[in-house]
Chains A and B, each alone.
Chain A
Amino acid sequence: MFPFRRFRVQDESMRPTLEPGDYVLVNRWAYRFQSPKPGDLVVVRDPETLDRFLVKRVSDAAGPSQVHLAGDNQPLSRDSRAFGPVSIDRIVGKVWIRLKR
């Protein structure tokens, strides 16, 4: 499995950290030996929509294998406040590099 995967950001819930059109390189091996920490930027499989990815920030651990996710643009973001905690195995990886437009 190739450790890096590219994603292009769409929508505005991670502003100002990520703007629509930015690229992120995601490290898929980041959580092999450690768990996601609060503050990590992660790409996850959308718990609400099949076959779609979300980019969000880990706000806190919700249990041994679950995390809460939040958007940096709080008033707009749809995140764990709406869909609850997210299982760690839905995390694709940790954002390693951000390429701003």
Chain B
Amino acid sequence: MSLLYSLARLLDRISPARIAYAHCDIPCGIYDPHHAQLAAHTVVRMVDLINQLEKPGPNATAEQRQEYTNKLARYIATKEQHSEIAKSELRILWADYFKPDHLKTFPELHDTMWKALKTASKARQEINLQAAEDLLKATNDIASMFWKTKGLETITTKAPYPTERQTVYPKFK
């Protein structure tokens, strides 16, 4: 970042610059909360797998330790990646899809989103089943708001994945 840019940033705090739009015809209008829900399921699954993983005892062989470390590393890497996907997908919904009008119907939207992102960070940082479950619940709450803005009812049912957690789906007519 250049010095002049930093100066402009500073100046922006004192007196904000007007926005000049390099206006696009895309917003594409294609949004779906399912990506965020799916990523949250993956995070839950990874925490489950990590917790089920048998820890090598004091007499474990080098091979057993290596196998344990390999599996743990892979679960953690996937958990990292998918909590980040959840965050990215939530940010897109928050910043690009939801409009000020939606706040009238869902005044809790900002708070829910903000907390969901914080929870996703926690789920990423820790091996914390509660945080992973909270993230999934938050993505479900956001999904039900999303589908209501589309005029669709939702159903909450067990997901057909190994996580088998409650998930919000739209009820297409």
Contact = CB atoms under 8 A, between A and B. Distances in A.
A and B bind: yes
Given A23-B5, A100-B2, A7 B22 contact: no
B17 A23 contact: yes
Given A23-B5, A99-B4, A101-B1, A10 B20 contact: yes
Given A99-B8, A100-B2, A101-B5, A54 B17 contact: no
Main secondary structure on B side of the interface with A: mixed
A14 B22 contact: yes
Given A99-B8, A100-B2, A101-B1, A7 B18 contact: yes
A24 interface: yes
A5 B15 CA distance: 12
B160 to A, nearest CB: 38
Interface residues of A, number: 33
B171 to A, nearest CB: 35
Contact of B19 (A10, A14, A101): A10
Contacts of A11: 21-24
Interface of B: 1-2, 4-5, 8, 11-12, 16-26
